[in-house]
Amino acid sequence: MKSHVFNCIRLEGKVAFITGGASGIGETAARLFTKHVAKVVIADIQDDLGQSIIDQIGEKGVVSYIHCDVKVEKNVENAEDMAISKYGKLDIMFSNMLEFLRNLIPQS
Ligand SMILES: NC(=O)c1ccc[n+]([C@@H]2O[C@H](COP(=O)([O-])OP(=O)(O)OC[C@H]3O[C@@H](n4cnc5c(N)ncnc54)[C@H](O)[C@@H]3O)[C@@H](O)[C@H]2O)c1
């Protein structure tokens, strides 16, 4: 019983930023991190989907959405700044769309 309680608050006090967090692996991570009591910022380009995730998991924890296209450096800077100004810090950066960016680099 005691270890179960411990396992459910592994990320207490942490602030997590997740790119591509409105669906797929990023959404699952957002739900898991929220369950572990992290404050979560979801950054994605699908605003309606992002908002619906916030509506679904917002009651269970602290979660925010911001529009952020990871291909636009300024978008990423703004989203990180928003996360820091809202929650005071950033502990976890889940670059879920890194693989996506890698695919944009021409292979020699
Ligand atoms: N699903 C897999 O089996 C698998 C395997 C290996 C690698 N990956 C990689 O993991 C990452 C996530 O995979 P997934 O299956 O969850 O993908 P997904 O397509 O289900 O979800 C990706 C999310 O990223 C968002 N997104 C797309 N372009 C974006 C952009 N420019 N800026 C911000 N957000 C953007 C989408 O709106 C979506 O919410 C991808 O980079 C994928 O290449 C996935």
Domain 15-104 bears CATH identifier 3.40.50.300: no
Please tell me if the CB atom of residue 64 comes closer than 6 angstroms to any atom of ligand 1. no
User: Hey, whose CA ends up nearest to atom 19 of ligand 1?
Assistant: 24
- Which residues partner with 16 through β-bridges? 40, 92
User: Hey, whose CA ends up nearest to atom 25 of ligand 1?
Assistant: 20
Cα–ligand 1 centroid distance for 67 (angstroms):
15
User: Hey, whose CA ends up nearest to atom 6 of ligand 1?
Assistant: 99
Residue 6: per-residue pLDDT: 54
Contacts of 86 (CB under 8 A, 6+ apart): 41, 64
DSSP 41: E
Tokens coding 10: 């592994």
* Residue of 63, 68, 29 lying closest to 45 (CA atoms): 68
What pTM was computed for the model? 0.88
pLDDT by residue for the chain (108 residues), tens only, comes to 555 555 678 899 999 999 999 999 999 999 999 999 999 999 999 999 999 999 998 777 799 999 999 989 899 999 999 999 999 999 999 999 876 566 666 666
